Chain A
Amino acid sequence: MKILVCISKAPDTTAKIAFKDNNTSFDENNVQYIVNPYDEWYALVRAIELTEQLKKGSITLITVGGADMDAIIRKAFAIGADNGVRIDAEPTDAYFVAEQIAAYAKENAFDIIFTGKETINFNGSAIGGMISEMLDMPYISMATKLDVNDTTATAECDIDGGTEVVECSFPFVISANKGMAEARIPNMRGIMAARTKELKVIPAIAAEKLTGVSSYALSQGRTTCKMIDAENAAGLIDLLHNEAKVI
């Protein structure tokens, strides 16, 4: 069982969000990055559990990003995985990123390609679907469970208004949602081992960028909260009807 896990980074959720260069780029000053939680907690941990269960297989981490991603990959190494690949390019467009990962996957024949459900900063939910199309593979989207035997995988996924259980043969791409595994905390051995695992840096292939952010804007916060006396709960209903006009 050869497994590829796609890893991206995200700012720690408490990070202050600010922009620079006339609001055209994200200000990374003082921003702490973490491994995107869906990639680490669910995709990677489930990949590790599967290789543990089957007592065979290997896990490769892949990321498209600059040198700052090396530290993120090492963080993920501390949880597990055998080796890693960084494709050296700025990940500014989903199609471009997917082309990079698909090209690597084509040459290295993986049985399962994991992505997270989405990055928590851009919430694209796009990379997994794009990779699967480029590789002509089935795509199991938003999976909350995944079990495999030698020939087939069974997954439970979120769908509109419920859940669905699907079966699929290898190879396939899957996006991991909450529920697929329990987050693991790296132990000392993992942290030590992470330093020596092989992280290969390879150049990007030529690919087009089909989108790009031209500007950012901070969302407007709410003005002031109107407080209503607890004794006068009915007054709230009146305000919701006459002032906010939402009921």
Chain B
Amino acid sequence: MSILVYTEISKGKIKKVSLEAVNYAAHIASATGSSTTAIIINPGDVNLDDLGKAGANKVLSVSNSNINTSDSQVMARVLNFAAEAENAQIVIFSHDYTAKAVAPRLAARMKAGFVPGAIDYPTTDGQFSVSKNVFSGKATANYQIFSSKKVISLLPNTFQVQTSGSPVASTSFDIPADLLNSRIKVKEVKRESNELSLPEAELVVSAGRGLKGPENWGMIEDLAKALGAATACSRPVSDLGWRPHHEHVGQTGLAIRPNLYIAVGISGAIQHLAGVNGSKTIVVINKDPEAPFFKSADYGIVGDAFEIVPKLIEAVKKFKASQN
């Protein structure tokens, strides 16, 4: 028996969230006495050693340019085929956009109980259950999976990645051509190439309507750059077109859980908190001492962002220099 993990490449490397998913699968495998198989589609010449180091016992490398990876129907067939070949009862994804499209399809195809966005390791003795966030992060629910087959997607940044194992040689894995019929045609792909991916980022600097206008984002970007952080924003900011829509976090935007979330000029509405209150450490900078966000923060500074942020940039630069 094995646990199958779906993994991906981005920008010439195995994605960090994929390594998290492999770690997670390896943990379940060791608790249940099974093994971990990672599958990766069209890795090209990217080095796959990290998959083994993260805990995969076997790596299936699929090279086939006819696979429309944008079509969840094709992807569900491909992964179901691999799960059957590997006798996998459990399939693990990272809870990203791909998983949101593919994992439920695969679960339906396998007739597997599905838990999206798991935040802890499952209990495996007796009943199999795993927790996820519910009610905008105000609570967690423990889900029991009754079926023998299971699909779980792991919330990104839930566990620190560990790559202390040893690499394994990858096995090339063929997919029958009749599984690859696709009814979805990709016309265009637009990727924000140079930015850190927000869901994967460990540090995030975010700003809200308190910044007054898009022309003032330079200092936010500078602070993010000094820290090596990604940038995010509140919903009105993306609604107003001050920042791109994919930066919007909250109940109706992305839910993120970085190690550090710095909120500048954001009031801390409940719908905003819903997307960020899983962050490990929250810093709030707001000129209003009554801003609700301070109630959900670990560190707070009351004051004018236009004075404080430049000081922070200097302090970060000094700190970085002292580290070298």
Chain A residues with a Cβ under 8 A of chain B: 11, 13-14, 17, 19, 37-38, 93-95, 98, 120-130, 132-134, 136-142, 144, 154, 158-169, 172, 178-179, 208-219, 221-222, 225-230, 233-234, 236-241, 244, 246-247
Q: For the complex, what is the distance from the CA of A237 to the CA of B321, rounded to whole Å?
A: 13
Question: 6 new A-B pairs (CB below 8 Å) besides A129-B105, A141-B101, A168-B183?
Answer: A129-B101, A162-B189, A229-B301, A230-B307, A234-B314, A240-B260
CB distance from A247 to the nearest CB of B (A): 7
Query: Could you tell me if B187 and A218 are in contact, using CB atoms closer than 8 angstroms?
Result: no
Enumerate 8 A-B pairs (CB-CB under 8 Å) in ascending A order.
A13-B271, A93-B113, A210-B146, A212-B143, A215-B141, A225-B299, A226-B298, A240-B299
Query: Could you tell me if A126 and B183 are in contact, using CB atoms closer than 8 angstroms?
Result: no
Q: Which 6 A-B pairs have the closest CB atoms?
A: A129-B104, A230-B303, A210-B113, A141-B101, A162-B191, A234-B315
List residues of chain A with CB within 8 A of the CB of B307: 230
CB distance from A199 to the nearest CB of B (A): 27
**Chain B, interface size: which category?**
35 or more
Q: For the complex, what is the distance from the CA of A228 to the CA of B286, rounded to whole Å?
A: 12
B82 at the interface (CB under 8 A from A): no
Query: Could you tell me if B114 and A241 are in contact, using CB atoms closer than 8 angstroms?
Result: no
Chain B residue with Cβ nearest A18: B139
List residues of chain A with CB within 8 A of the CB of B106: 133
Query: Could you tell me if B298 and A160 are in contact, using CB atoms closer than 8 angstroms?
Result: no
Known contacts A132-B72, A164-B70, A211-B114; A236 and B145 CB within 8 A of each other? no
Q: Which of B252-283 contact A (CB under 8 A)?
A: 252-253, 255, 259-260, 270-271, 274, 277, 280-283
Q: Which of B285-309 contact A (CB under 8 A)?
A: 294-304, 307-308
Chain B residue with Cβ nearest A15: B135
CB distance from A156 to the nearest CB of B (A): 9
Chain B residues with a Cβ under 8 A of chain A: 8, 10, 70-73, 76, 96-98, 100-109, 111-117, 127, 129, 132-147, 183-192, 197, 199, 202-203, 227, 245-246, 248, 251-253, 255, 259-260, 270-271, 274, 277, 280-284, 294-304, 307-308, 311-312, 314-316, 318-319
List residues of chain B with CB within 8 A of the CB of A234: 311-312, 314-315, 318
Please pick, from A169, A225, A238, the residue contacting B300 in the complex, using a CB distance under 8 A: A225
Query: Could you tell me if B283 and A240 are in contact, using CB atoms closer than 8 angstroms?
Result: yes
The DSSP consensus for interface residues of chain B is: mixed
Q: For the complex, what is the distance from the CA of A225 to the CA of B283, rounded to whole Å?
A: 9
Query: Could you tell me if B282 and A247 are in contact, using CB atoms closer than 8 angstroms?
Result: no
Please pick, from A19, A166, A209, A211, the residue contacting B139 in the complex, using a CB distance under 8 A: A19
Query: Could you tell me if B187 and A166 are in contact, using CB atoms closer than 8 angstroms?
Result: yes
Interface centre among B8, B142, B192, by most chain A C-beta atoms within 10 angstroms, is: B142
Q: For the complex, what is the distance from the CA of A152 to the CA of B107, rounded to whole Å?
A: 28
List residues of chain A with CB within 8 A of the CB of B100: 125, 129, 141-142
Query: Could you tell me if B308 and A167 are in contact, using CB atoms closer than 8 angstroms?
Result: no
CB distance from A131 to the nearest CB of B (A): 8
Known contacts A219-B139, A230-B302; A158 and B315 CB within 8 A of each other? no
Chain A residue with Cβ nearest B246: A158
Query: Could you tell me if A126 and B301 are in contact, using CB atoms closer than 8 angstroms?
Result: no
Chain A residue with Cβ nearest B68: A166
Please pick, from A93, A169, A230, A238, the residue contacting B183 in the complex, using a CB distance under 8 A: A169
CB distance from B196 to the nearest CB of A (A): 10
List residues of chain B with CB within 8 A of the CB of A38: 252
List residues of chain A with CB within 8 A of the CB of B185: 166-168
Query: Could you tell me if A94 and B104 are in contact, using CB atoms closer than 8 angstroms?
Result: yes
Known contacts A13-B270, A228-B299; A178 and B252 CB within 8 A of each other? yes
Q: For the complex, what is the distance from the CA of A227 to the CA of B283, rounded to whole Å?
A: 10
List residues of chain A with CB within 8 A of the CB of B253: 178
Chain A residue with Cβ nearest B110: A133
Query: Could you tell me if A228 and B300 are in contact, using CB atoms closer than 8 angstroms?
Result: yes
Q: For the complex, what is the distance from the CA of A11 to the CA of B134, rounded to whole Å?
A: 12
Known contacts A138-B73, A216-B140, A218-B138; A123 and B301 CB within 8 A of each other? no
Q: For the complex, what is the distance from the CA of A93 to the CA of B108, rounded to whole Å?
A: 12
List residues of chain B with CB within 8 A of the CB of A239: 299
CB distance from A39 to the nearest CB of B (A): 13
Query: Could you tell me if A213 and B142 are in contact, using CB atoms closer than 8 angstroms?
Result: yes
Query: Could you tell me if B187 and A233 are in contact, using CB atoms closer than 8 angstroms?
Result: no
Q: For the complex, what is the distance from the CA of A57 to the CA of B94, rounded to whole Å?
A: 39
Q: For the complex, what is the distance from the CA of A122 to the CA of B109, rounded to whole Å?
A: 22
Please pick, from B70, B138, B252, B294, the residue contacting A166 in the complex, using a CB distance under 8 A: B70
Q: For the complex, what is the distance from the CA of A246 to the CA of B205, rounded to whole Å?
A: 13
Q: For the complex, what is the distance from the CA of A238 to the CA of B135, rounded to whole Å?
A: 34
Chain B residue with Cβ nearest A93: B113
Query: Could you tell me if B137 and A219 are in contact, using CB atoms closer than 8 angstroms?
Result: yes
Q: For the complex, what is the distance from the CA of A148 to the CA of B10, rounded to whole Å?
A: 32
